[in-house]
Structure 1
Amino acid sequence: MQTSIIHQSLDLDELLGRLIAEHLQDDNQLAIWRFPKSNVLHVLIDTTKNIKRVSLDLEELPSGFIVHPFEDQVDQKAYFLEASNYFTIQLNVPLEEQEAPYFEEKSIKDPQTIHELIRKSFASINSSGESIEDIAYTKEDFIDLVEKGIETIREGKLSKIVPAKLKRLPLSEDFNLITSLHRLLESYPNAFINFFHIPGIGTWIGASPETLIQTKGKEFYTMSLAGTQKAQGDNPIKNAAWTQKEIEEQALVSRYIVDCFKKIRLREYSEQGPKTVIAGNLLHLRSDFTVDMEATNFPQLGSVMLKLLHPTSAVCGMPRKEAFEFLRTHERFNRSLFAGFIGPVNMDGETRIFVNLRTARLLEKEALLYAGAGVTEDSNPEKEWEETEMKCDIIGNFLKTSKA
């Protein structure tokens, strides 16, 4: 559903500020995103005042935006934002040259009021009801978790584990959400830039590099993404040198996808890679998998693979059941929506679901950053810590800057 209000005097930041402030103030649900390698910003607003949870039968869902936590052992349902209003903005076209159907003229205009309303809308409890102020996590906690993981792997109980950490980042008084979002859009053209708000559940901002599943027309797509190193030099992809540990880590993820295909007796698929790809200031190894859903007579492949893949070995470990139980026992915090999945469903003829990585939970006075590292028998705990620091910086560096 679209309206057709044109505001020729506003720039993009003013538009987004007024839009977000108005709908956060009204307790509406909101999702804003830009796909990798795209110049189109998508805006979805759910004005129903109803926090909805839906099953993962994607093909049966209406148009909307789906948000699923890392852990959901109760009913495997996801939060769903209905497209009460939906429109797009061309980022490479001046606003005065396009329709910008986004809010009524009665909306808030004062920049300081907008800033204050947005900050006050950031909640102070997470989706499990746990007080954020009670969460503490240190480098020693993470190192200890990695060492436990390595010990469990050497005992033969796991082949890989992906421990995560939580990092608290104080937000300055003049922290500006719109500035941070705009700079993410400019800085990470190859990432899924996203911002979403569900009252009582949370407000998140992120730049995910990893597609979980995509369906468009007759094609299904997924990827295996693992291995991390810092991008260096004028041609970082050409300069990349991968260790055996990183190559094997990525191969484990690829094998898991192939095993999922085997479980459903799917043999006709295309695999390309691995190849080095860049995501912000980091490099990863990636393999791409595609399936012709028409030729294989598998129209529900998106839903089936989503249920099989999550949580992937890239965010959990291998074997998946044992790795999940290890994390449940030893991780000292609730991952909440980190390492879950997010994305638009049945919008503009396609569904694109991303793993919720390189992400931050926004609170009134601080942000919670999350990051994980793939641990194998050859892992060095200190280097795994450094990897998580680099991953946290992808979002954290954009939240530290307070210029409006």
Structure 2
Amino acid sequence: MNYTVTSSPTTQSEFLDSLFLKGLDSGKSFAVWRKPKSQKLEFLLDDKATPARVDLSFEELPAGFIVHPFADQEDKKAFFIKSNQYFSFQLDQDFVQEDFPEWVKSPINQSSEAIKSQVKSLIRKKSESTFTREAESDQKPHFIRLVQRGLVAIESGVLEKVVPARTKQVQISDDFDLGQTFLEMLEAYPNSFVNFFHIPQIGTWIGASPEVLIETKGDQFYTMALAGTQPASGENPLKSAAWTQKEIEEQALVCRYIVECFKKIRLREYDEHGPKTVMAGSLLHLRSDFRVDMRATGFSQLGSVMLDLLHPTSAVCGMPRKEAHEFLQENEDFDRSFFAGFIGPVNVQEETSIFVNLRTASLRGENAILYAGAGVTEDSDPEKEWEETELKCQIIGKFIQKPSA
């Protein structure tokens, strides 16, 4: 059964803590999220600690939350957190406790400090089992060399574009408050997919992704081409943004990649709008939107077909995809895990919204691993690409990182 309640600003942090406590204390897999430009926060909980593994034909799946790593697994399947218990509430309306189902209401009877203490303890205990020390991937010299190798591959004609990534390990703040942090991210990033998911023994992640991979609602299919990055500055950053040729070409490559996927399945009827400048937190990007009427074009399973074709997109891998992926496998010295993979609700209230897992952090005991990549083309400057990854790491890092001494 689905439940919908409302919450007021004075109690939202405590209520979020109670949801996180419900999920973490259950020992099962769960997810919490809010879609871009929405005021509805959603929560679902699986009745199994280990979620199912599913293929990408999501149209046949029950309601749930899909989690797929950057690299394909041997069986090419994704984790699927089934929606055995689902709950949603509106962030912009009054709090009505009487409307809560009993399974949500139970932890609210404890004091807010007791709940926060339990969440803090559980989040560290549950995530520490996934801790691994990354190699050189958080060091600037290593990333600079990686970009330089990419430029050599581009100059030789092997690649048009490649998207090397790096990590940044930070210590989680002593006063880290998951509920309050999530609330602050909801307020800071209204145009992003703000999310948290936990799969026991697999991973605990928090993020605010700006990039839709695919969406389906009724007969409508949607995807986007998002690329190019610069800091938002000035009183009206959307109007004052000036894009370089490098950034314009980078975004055009992503658009071309989507169109080529349409051509592979002989889809000719689609609407394309853009590119336009959009804001995601403190960063600006170039975005083009693509929409398809699945009924009119006779592609009832276009969502899963395009999901398989698009991932990993040129925005997180490069072009040509096969050669770029091979380059990253050979030269990146860390496992991207779910970074640059895809996540999102599937068939929840008859909608599917799957996002590229960007602007994200993996929580691992007392530490967090931040992830960021940069699109490298022939005009790239390695130093500027490093600076871009630093900006991207701060999107999530500033909410969870322990201040420097």
**1:224 matched to 2:225:** yes
For residue 117 of structure 1, report the CA deviation from its aligned partner.
3.0
How many residues are paired up?
A: 398
8 Å Cα contact 2:163/2:374 also seen in 1: yes
With 25-34 and 191-200 compared, the bigger mean Cα shift is at 25-34
* Percent of residue pairs bearing the same amino acid type: 57
For residue 52 of structure 1, report the CA deviation from its aligned partner.
1.2
Alignment partner, residue 171 of structure 1: 172
CA distance in 1: counterparts of 2:400 and 2:55, whole angstroms: 34
Query: Cα 1:359–1:7, aligned 2, differ >3 Å: closer, same or farther?
Result: closer
Alignment partner, residue 132 of structure 1: 132
The list of structure 1 runs, each at least 4 consecutive aligned residues, that deviate by more than 6 angstroms after superposition, is 3-8
CA distance in 1: counterparts of 2:220 and 2:256, whole angstroms: 21
- Residues 71-111 of structure 1 show CA distances to partners (whole Å, capped at 9, x for unaligned) of 01412111001111111111011212772335252675414
Alignment partner, residue 86 of structure 2: 86
The amino acid that maps onto 2:127 is: A
**1:212 matched to 2:213:** yes
CA distance in 2: counterparts of 1:46 and 1:179, whole angstroms: 24
Normalising by structure 2, we get a TM-score of 0.94
User: Which residues of structure 1 form unaligned runs of 5+?
Assistant: none
CA distance in 1: counterparts of 2:399 and 2:172, whole angstroms: 11
Aligned with 1:44: secondary structure? strand
CA distance in 1: counterparts of 2:186 and 2:273, whole angstroms: 28
Query: Cα 1:138–1:47, aligned 2, differ >3 Å: closer, same or farther?
Result: same
Specify which of 113, 118, 121 is matched with residue 114 of structure 1: 118
8 Å Cα contact 1:6/1:100 also seen in 2: no
Alignment partner, residue 127 of structure 2: 123
Query: Cα 1:156–1:287, aligned 2, differ >3 Å: closer, same or farther?
Result: same
Alignment partner, residue 64 of structure 2: 64
Alignment partner, residue 241 of structure 2: 240
8 Å Cα contact 2:174/2:402 also seen in 1: no
8 Å Cα contact 2:215/2:221 also seen in 1: yes
For residue 23 of structure 1, report the CA deviation from its aligned partner.
2.4
Alignment partner, residue 261 of structure 2: 260
For residue 348 of structure 1, report the CA deviation from its aligned partner.
1.1
Alignment partner, residue 27 of structure 1: 27
The amino acid that maps onto 1:58 is: F
For residue 197 of structure 1, report the CA deviation from its aligned partner.
0.5
Aligned with 1:261: secondary structure? helix
Query: Cα 1:92–1:289, aligned 2, differ >3 Å: closer, same or farther?
Result: same
The amino acid that maps onto 1:242 is: W
Query: Cα 1:249–1:98, aligned 2, differ >3 Å: closer, same or farther?
Result: farther
CA distance in 1: counterparts of 2:253 and 2:5, whole angstroms: 50
For residue 178 of structure 1, report the CA deviation from its aligned partner.
1.4
Spell out the pairing of 1:11-26 with structure 2 (5 A cutoff). Answer: 11-26=11-26
CA distance in 2: counterparts of 1:118 and 1:93, whole angstroms: 30
For residue 22 of structure 1, report the CA deviation from its aligned partner.
3.2
For residue 313 of structure 1, report the CA deviation from its aligned partner.
0.1
User: Which residues of structure 2 form unaligned runs of 5+?
Assistant: none
With 92-101 and 75-84 compared, the bigger mean Cα shift is at 92-101
Normalising by structure 1, we get a TM-score of 0.94
- Residues 171-195 of structure 1 show CA distances to partners (whole Å, capped at 9, x for unaligned) of 1222111121110001111101001
- Residues 88-143 of structure 1 show CA distances to partners (whole Å, capped at 9, x for unaligned) of 111011212772335252675414532443333442354xxxx5135443011100
CA distance in 1: counterparts of 2:45 and 2:316, whole angstroms: 29
The amino acid that maps onto 2:189 is: Y
Aligned Cα RMSD in Å?
A: 2.1
Query: Cα 1:120–1:299, aligned 2, differ >3 Å: closer, same or farther?
Result: same
Query: Cα 1:333–1:125, aligned 2, differ >3 Å: closer, same or farther?
Result: farther
8 Å Cα contact 2:6/2:94 also seen in 1: no
CA distance in 2: counterparts of 1:390 and 1:5, whole angstroms: 36
Aligned with 1:295: secondary structure? helix
Query: Cα 1:314–1:98, aligned 2, differ >3 Å: closer, same or farther?
Result: farther
With 70-79 and 273-282 compared, the bigger mean Cα shift is at 70-79
Alignment partner, residue 51 of structure 1: 51
CA distance in 2: counterparts of 1:7 and 1:311, whole angstroms: 37
CA distance in 2: counterparts of 1:260 and 1:3, whole angstroms: 39
8 Å Cα contact 2:231/2:283 also seen in 1: yes
For residue 28 of structure 1, report the CA deviation from its aligned partner.
1.3
CA distance in 2: counterparts of 1:307 and 1:49, whole angstroms: 27
Spell out the pairing of 1:308-319 with structure 2 (5 A cutoff). Answer: 308-319=309-320
Alignment partner, residue 306 of structure 2: 305
8 Å Cα contact 2:63/2:82 also seen in 1: yes
The amino acid that maps onto 1:43 is: F
8 Å Cα contact 1:145/1:163 also seen in 2: yes
Alignment partner, residue 337 of structure 1: 338
CA distance in 1: counterparts of 2:159 and 2:120, whole angstroms: 48
Aligned with 1:105: secondary structure? helix
CA distance in 2: counterparts of 1:397 and 1:292, whole angstroms: 40
The amino acid that maps onto 1:382 is: E
For residue 315 of structure 1, report the CA deviation from its aligned partner.
0.1
- Residues 16-35 of structure 1 show CA distances to partners (whole Å, capped at 9, x for unaligned) of 21221232122111111101
8 Å Cα contact 1:68/1:78 also seen in 2: yes
CA distance in 2: counterparts of 1:311 and 1:36, whole angstroms: 21
Aligned with 2:170: secondary structure? strand
With 312-321 and 91-100 compared, the bigger mean Cα shift is at 91-100
